[in-house]
Structure 1
Amino acid sequence: MRRILLTSICFLACTVGTQAQRGANNDWVTDNSDAQRTATIKGDAKINKDSVAKPGAVQFLWKLKLKNTPNQLNNLSAPATLERLIGYRGFRMLGFIAGSGDNLFTIDTDLGRMEWEKKLPTSSAASASTLACPGGMTTSIVRPTNSMIAAAGGGFGPGRNQPAKSTVGTPWEGAANLKDVRPTPQFAGPPPGAQQGPTRPNLPPMGGGFGGSANVIYALASDGMLHSMHLSGGQEYQPPIKFLPPGANANGLIVVNGKAFAVAANSCNGVANGLWAYDFEAKQVQTWKGEVVGSAGAAFGGDGTAYVTTKNGVTAIDPKTLEAKGSYSASGQEFSSSPVVFEFKGKTMIAAATKTGSVHLLDAGNLSAAIATTPAGKDANPNALASWQDASGTRWILAPTDKAIVAWKVVEQGGSLSLQQGWTSRELVAPLTPTIINGVVLATASGEFRTSDSKMTAAQRAARSKPAVIYALDGSTGKELWNSGTTIKSFARGNALSGGMGQFYLTTYDGTFYAFGFPMEH
C-alpha cells in the first residue's frame, strides 16, 4: 500500500510539473485575466464551441450571497482564480473576490461554498462618496504574475475532469483548520528559450505563466494599504505596505515582475491621477502623472513595458523609472479604453479604442503613427478591449459598444496590416468587456442603466437597471451557442467576467456570486 501511494504521488507531481513546463496555467490573476489585459483563457478541457452548443450541457451551477454593502454602484469584483491548490486534503479550485467594503471572500468554486472571508482593517475614515469617487475598495484581488506573453493557443488545453475532494468542517463554513492547508507547490520553471519578464532577487513570491502559481494574493484597501496574504487562509504574508493615499479611486491593480501597479483616476480625495507603482525590492513608491482612462489599468509588454491610455492616446512607460518612453496621439479623438497587448508575427502590438468606438492598432516598436484604425461610430465608450487568436492563426480584437460587441480581425495583405470587421453580436444592454475561453466568447449584457446625467443618483440608476444575461458566442462567427436566460436577478458592472476549469463566474450589484459551466459529480 505504501508503495502504491508513493507511486501515485510521484505520478501526480510529474503530471503537474509537466503541465507547468508547458505553460499550461490558465488562472485568472488580475483584471481581464493577465498582464496584457486580453480577457482570454486559451485552453479549457470542457469549454469549446461544440460542447457549449449541446443543449443542456452548460448549466447554472450555484450562487452565493456575499455580505457586502455597495459603495455607490460598486459591490463585488470579478474573482481571481486558482485552478489547483494541492494540499493534504486533495485538490481545490478557488475564487478570490473583493468587496467594496474592504471585505475579502474566498470561494471553493468546485463545491460552491465559502472557504474563508476577512475584513481588512483600515486606518482612515471614509471620505465622502460620489459616483466618480465611490470610496471603499475599488480594485480586485490579484495574484502575482509576470509580463511574458504566453504563446497563442486553442484546443482543449489543461483541465481536471474529476471533482475536488476535501475534508470539510461545518457545512457552508469552509474547510476545517484552514491555517493548515499547505500552499501550492512550487512547480518547475519555464522551458529553455521561453520569453520571460525581468527577474530580480529578494522579491515576493512570483507566479503565473510558465512558472506555476505563487501562494499569496494581494488586495488594495480603501486606506491605500497593500495587503499580501496566504491564499489558503488569508493570514498576512508580510505587514501591509503604504501604497496609495487614502480614498483613491484605483483600478487595474496588478503585481507583475516584482512590482505592484495601479491607476488612480478622478483626483479622488486629492490623490494624483496616473500610474502608481510600488517596488517591493527597493521599498519605494513611484508615480507617473497623467489622465489615464479605461477600467483595466496598465497593460504590459513581454519586456515589462507598461502601456496606459490617456484621453489623448497611448503612452509607453518604463517599468523601472516610470518615465515615458514614447507615446501615440490621434488629433481630435478622445480615447476611453484601457489598452490590450498581444504578439502578431513576432511583433508586440497594442490596441486601444476611442469614445466613438474607433479601434487604433499600434506597433509597440514605433508609436509615431497607427498601423490601422476602424471607422468611428456613435458614442460607444468602451472601457477595455479583449483579444485572442484562433486555431487558424487569425488574431481577433473585441470591442464593446453601448449596445453590442464588435469583433475585428487583424489582416495582412501585401505586407500591410488592416482591421476588418468579422461580426457584430446581437443587441446587448450595456455590455461588459467580453471574455474568451477556448474560442468561446462570453458576452455579458450587464443590464446597467448608463447615463451621462450627473444628477441621477446611484440608487436611481440601480432602480432603472435590468438583470444581466450572459451569452456564449462562437468566437469566429458570433453565432449564439447558449445564454443564461433569466437566472441572474441583478445587474453587473466592472470588467470582464472570469472563469476557468469548465466554469465561468459573474458577480452582481446585489452581492451575488453566480457560477455557470459544466457540472462535476461529487
Structure 2
Amino acid sequence: MTSMTSPTCSVRTARRSVTAAPSVTWLAAIVCLLAAPAAAARQAPATSAQVPGAGKPGSGAVTADNAAGFDAIFDGKTLKGWDGDAAFWRVADETIVGETTAERPLKANTFIVWRGGTTKDFELKLEYRISTTNPAGNSGVQFRSSLLPDAGRWVMRGYQADIDAANTYTGQIYEERGRGFLARPGQAVRVAADGQLKPLASLGDPAVLKTFIRNRDWNQIHVIARGNIIVEFVNGHVTSLLVDDDTQGRAWDGLLGLQLHAGPPMKIEFRNILLKHWDATATSQPADWLTDGGNPKRTAWQQEERTVTTRNARDIELLWKITLNNLPREMHSLLPALVVGRASTREGPKQIVVVTGVSDNLYAIDAERGVLLWTKRFDHSSVGDTALRGGLMCPGGITATPVIGPATVGGRYTIYAVSWDGMLHQINVADGEDLAPPAKFMPPNGKPYALNLWKNVVYTHTAQGCGGHPNMAYAYDLATTRVGSWGPAGGGMWGRTGPAISSKGVMYTGTGDGPWDPERGLYGNGIIGVQQNPTTKALELVDYYAPSNAAWLFKRDLDMQVTPAIFDHKGRELMVAGGKECRVYLMDTESIGGDDHRTPLFRTPLLCNEGVNFASAGIWGAMASWVDSSGTRWVLAPFWGPKHSAFKAPGEHGDVTSGAIAAFKVEERDGGLQLTPAWISRDMNRAEPPVVANGVVFAYGSGESTTQATPELGLRANQADYRIKHSTHAVLYALDGQTGDELWSSGTQITSWNHWAGLSVANGRVYLGTFDGTLYCFGIKQ
C-alpha cells in the first residue's frame, strides 16, 4: 500500500508498486478536490455517539465521528421512505435485508428505492454484508438512477457501486441496464464524448484490493459524486474512479436504490446508510453547449442545467449584453452561440461563449463578465465582397453555426467552422489560434447550415442553390481529411439547426420543396437518411420518407424543411420532424417511413396554417424533445401564424395569432405510439425553436417580418430592405415545461429582432443574438 498525501487529505490505494508518480499526484488531487466539502463538514460537532441504524460499532462502522454533515436515510427500524417488493425486502436487526430462497427466487433483478429525494452532487456512506456461499451472489447500490416501469415496478437503470460475493466486481462503477462496465476495480477511467472508455490511471492491483474486503462480514462503501466525476472507496481504499464525458449517456441526477440480484439464493444486508447533498452550483462541473441544438441528436435539451429551475425562473434578469462589430448581410447577422463551460486559458479556466457573425467573423466572450476575449476574421479574399449576392436567400458569408469538439487533454476545445470560401477551419477556443491549416470542405459561396460532429466526422447540408451549386449533404472525415457528399435533393436541405445524427451515425434532414419520385432519384418534400461508408468515406442513402400528400405539398410550396429531433424511448430510437404544412411526424429510426417509405408511426392533425400560407405560417426551424422527472417524454414544435381552429390542447394560454410553441407527450395507445397534445403557449411574434433546461422551456418570438408577398408588391416584398423595415423586436420567454405557463419574459429589453438566429443555454444563462450585432445574456445572478 502507498499513501498519497496533500495539504488537506490523504488517499490510500492498493498498489504493490507505483510506476507513474504523476498519475498518483493527479489522482490525489481529484480525490481531495471531491472530498474537500466532506473534510470541512467533519469539523462540525457531533450530536450523538452513534447514528440511527448503525448496528454495533466495529471495524468499518459509521459513528458520529465520521458522520457529521450526513443525514441518516434509514431509521434502523422501518422501511419508511423506502419502496420495494415486500416479498424480498424487510428490516431485521437494524438492517435492510434483501433475500431470495430456493422457494422464492427472482426472475429479474429487483431494487428497493429511496423515495426521500434524489442524488445529484452527493456523498454516500453505507455498510453491507453479503451472505451466500455461491460466488455468483451479486448486489449493488444504485445512484443517479431512474426507474424503468415497462420492465417492472422496481427495476432501475443507472450508475451502480457493484457488490459481489466473490469480490470480483466489488468496488467497481457499473451502469445497470446501460453502458455496463465503466470503471472496474483498480481502474481510473474516462468515458469520452463518443462513449469510448479511455484508461486514465491504475489505482492498484485488483488482487490486492480483494484483501481489504471481509468475506461474509460488514464492509463499508463510500461514494462521492461531483459533476461528471465519481469516486468509490471500499473500507477506506480508493477502488475506482470515473470521469464521465459521455453527454448522451451520463446522468447528473437520479434515484438511489439497493439491488437484490436474480440467481441463486442469497442474502444482502445494508445498514448505516448516510447521505450528504452538496450545493450543486458550487461543486458541479460547468455545462457545455457545443453544437446548435445542444447535441448531435438535436433535442435542444440542456440535460446538465442545475441553476435555473421553474421555481426561480421569475428571477431571471439581463446579466450583460455586448455589441459586436459584425456587418449584417441581407437579414443575417449573428448565429446561435456555443458555450464551453470550462476552457483552459493562459489566465486560468474560463467559461467561454463563441459567437459567429455572418461576415466571416468569430468572437469569444467571457461568459462571466460579458467582455470580448478574442476576435477572428477569416480571409475570404478568394470570394470577397465582389461576389454577386444572391438576394435574401443567398447572403454570402458564414451561414453555418460552427461545432465545438469536446475537450481532449488539458481542457482544450476545438472549434470547427466553415468560412465563406468553403474551407473548414480548426481553431482553439482558448485563444482563437489555428490548430490546423484550413482544408477544402465544399464549394465557395454556398449556404451550409449548422455543423454537426459525430465520431470525428463533421456533417452539414446546403440549400437554395447558392453560388450556383447543387443542394448537397457533406461529411468531412477528420482522421483522413476525405470529404463525402450526397445529393442533390429537393429545393434544399435547410433545417435551421442542421442535420440530426442517430445513434447509428445516420444523418437525417428534410429535403425542402421539390418533386418526390424516388425511382428517379428525386426526394423533395421528404426526409432522407444518409450514412458515411466506413471504407470509402462517401455518404450513401440508407433511408427516406415522404408524407402521403408530398405532391400537393410541392404544389403549394410547403417544404419539409425542419431539423428533426432524435431520442430514445422505451428501448426504441424515435424521431420527430415537421414542415410548413404544420403537422408533426413521429418515426422510428429503424425505418422512418415503413416498408413503403410513406407511413410514419404517427402524424398529428394540423396545428396551424389553416390558410395554407407558404411564407408566414407552419413549423419552421427545428424540433425539441426532453424527459421530465417522472419519465414522460415531451416533444415541442414551434409554429408561425394563427393556431388551427380545430387544434386543441388541455392547456392553452390565450389566442394565438402570430405563433406559439405546441407541446406533446409521447404516449402509448391502441398498441402504438402517438403524440398527445398537452399545452399551447401564449402568442409569440414568430415563435422560434425552443430549448429546454431543468424543466424550463425557453422560447422566443423573433420579431422578424416574414412577409414574402403582398397584394401591392407581390413577391417583390421578399426583399431585405422591405422586411427589415417592417421587423420589430424579439421577446424571450421562460415557460413551465409541464404546463406552458409563462414564468418570465424579457419584455422590451431586447431592442432588435433576428433572422435565422437561435437560443443557447448553459449554467444558468440563456443567450440570444440580434440583427444589430448584439448578444444578450439573460440568467440567474450567481
2: CA distance between counterparts of 1:242 and 1:88?
31
2: CA distance between counterparts of 1:83 and 1:72?
33
Q: Secondary structure at the match of 1:396?
A: strand
1:294 aligns with 2:495: yes
1:392 aligns with 2:392: no
Aligned match of 1:138? 399
Check whether the contact 2:343–2:350 (CA below 8 A) recurs between aligned residues: yes
Q: Which has the larger radius of gyration?
A: 2
Q: TM-score, normalised by structure 1?
A: 0.83
2: CA distance between counterparts of 1:60 and 1:451?
30
Q: Shift in Å at residue 495 of structure 1?
A: 4.7
Letter paired with 2:378: L
1:186 aligns with 2:375: no
Letter paired with 2:574: M
Q: Shift in Å at residue 86 of structure 1?
A: 3.9
Letter paired with 2:588: D
The one of 512, 516, 520 equivalent to 2:778 is 516
2: CA distance between counterparts of 1:50 and 1:477?
14
User: What do residues 78-127 of structure 1 show as CA deviations (whole Å, max 9, x unaligned)?
Assistant: 11110112456443111101111111100001111111111111232342
Q: Shift in Å at residue 17 of structure 1?
A: 5.6
Aligned 1:119-138 pairs, distance under 5 A: 119-122=377-380, 123-126=382-385, 127-129=387-389, 130-138=391-399
Q: Shift in Å at residue 438 of structure 1?
A: 1.2
Gaps of 5+ in 1: 146-183, 188-212
The one of 469, 473, 490 equivalent to 2:735 is 473
1:349 aligns with 2:574: yes
Letter paired with 1:352: A
Q: Shift in Å at residue 475 of structure 1?
A: 0.6
2: CA distance between counterparts of 1:256 and 1:93?
23
Aligned match of 2:359? 101
Q: Shift in Å at residue 448 of structure 1?
A: 0.4
Check whether the contact 2:8–2:32 (CA below 8 A) recurs between aligned residues: no
Aligned match of 2:301? 40
Q: Quick one: structure 1 residues 214 and 374, their matched pair in 2 at CA, closer, same or farther if it must change by over 3 Å?
A: farther
Check whether the contact 2:452–2:500 (CA below 8 A) recurs between aligned residues: no
1: CA distance between counterparts of 2:637 and 2:486?
27
Aligned 1:61-460 pairs, distance under 5 A: 61-87=319-345, 89-122=347-380, 123-126=382-385, 127-129=387-389, 130-144=391-405, 186=409, 215-289=413-487, 290-291=489-490, 292-311=493-512, 312-320=525-533, 321-333=538-550, 334=553, 335-367=560-592, 368=594, 369-376=599-606, 377-378=608-609, 379-402=617-640, 403-453=659-709, 454-456=715-717, 457-460=719-722
Aligned match of 1:148? none
Gaps of 5+ in 2: 10-24, 36-225, 231-242, 245-249, 253-285, 513-524, 554-559, 610-616, 641-658, 710-714
Q: Quick one: structure 1 residues 405 and 17, their matched pair in 2 at CA, closer, same or farther if it must change by over 3 Å?
A: closer
Q: Shift in Å at residue 415 of structure 1?
A: 2.7
2: CA distance between counterparts of 1:85 and 1:467?
33
User: What do residues 336-395 of structure 1 show as CA deviations (whole Å, max 9, x unaligned)?
Assistant: 312111111111111111212100000111222211111123131422111111111111
Q: Shift in Å at residue 217 of structure 1?
A: 0.8
Letter paired with 2:465: S
Aligned match of 2:114? none
Letter paired with 2:7: R
Check whether the contact 1:398–1:406 (CA below 8 A) recurs between aligned residues: yes
1: CA distance between counterparts of 2:383 and 2:34?
46
Structure that is richer in strand per residue: 2
Letter paired with 1:488: I
Check whether the contact 1:79–1:141 (CA below 8 A) recurs between aligned residues: no
Check whether the contact 1:357–1:399 (CA below 8 A) recurs between aligned residues: no
2: CA distance between counterparts of 1:114 and 1:266?
34
2: CA distance between counterparts of 1:440 and 1:51?
10
Letter paired with 1:3: P
Check whether the contact 1:86–1:185 (CA below 8 A) recurs between aligned residues: no
Check whether the contact 1:144–1:254 (CA below 8 A) recurs between aligned residues: no
Aligned match of 1:3? 7
2: CA distance between counterparts of 1:346 and 1:186?
34
Q: Shift in Å at residue 67 of structure 1?
A: 0.3
Check whether the contact 1:347–1:363 (CA below 8 A) recurs between aligned residues: yes
Letter paired with 2:509: V
Q: Secondary structure at the match of 1:342?
A: strand
1: CA distance between counterparts of 2:471 and 2:587?
24
Q: Quick one: structure 1 residues 13 and 104, their matched pair in 2 at CA, closer, same or farther if it must change by over 3 Å?
A: farther
Q: Quick one: structure 1 residues 269 and 91, their matched pair in 2 at CA, closer, same or farther if it must change by over 3 Å?
A: same
1: CA distance between counterparts of 2:729 and 2:452?
30
Q: Shift in Å at residue 62 of structure 1?
A: 0.6
User: What do residues 248-292 of structure 1 show as CA deviations (whole Å, max 9, x unaligned)?
Assistant: 011021222111111111111122202111112232211111132
Check whether the contact 1:404–1:425 (CA below 8 A) recurs between aligned residues: yes
1: CA distance between counterparts of 2:755 and 2:33?
39
Q: Secondary structure at the match of 1:92?
A: strand
Q: Shift in Å at residue 2 of structure 1?
A: 7.8
Check whether the contact 1:59–1:516 (CA below 8 A) recurs between aligned residues: yes
Q: Shift in Å at residue 518 of structure 1?
A: 1.1
The one of 11, 18, 21 equivalent to 2:229 is 18
1:500 aligns with 2:762: yes
1: CA distance between counterparts of 2:732 and 2:543?
39
Q: Secondary structure at the match of 1:455?
A: helix
Percent identical residues: 33
2: CA distance between counterparts of 1:268 and 1:87?
38
User: What do residues 397-440 of structure 1 show as CA deviations (whole Å, max 9, x unaligned)?
Assistant: 11111111111111112431111111111110011101111110
Q: Shift in Å at residue 445 of structure 1?
A: 0.8
Q: Shift in Å at residue 230 of structure 1?
A: 1.0
Q: Quick one: structure 1 residues 90 and 519, their matched pair in 2 at CA, closer, same or farther if it must change by over 3 Å?
A: farther
Q: Shift in Å at residue 9 of structure 1?
A: 6.4
Give the number of aligned pairs.
454
Check whether the contact 1:71–1:100 (CA below 8 A) recurs between aligned residues: yes
Q: Secondary structure at the match of 1:295?
A: coil
Q: Quick one: structure 1 residues 216 and 506, their matched pair in 2 at CA, closer, same or farther if it must change by over 3 Å?
A: same
Letter paired with 1:399: A
Q: TM-score, normalised by structure 2?
A: 0.56
Letter paired with 1:483: S
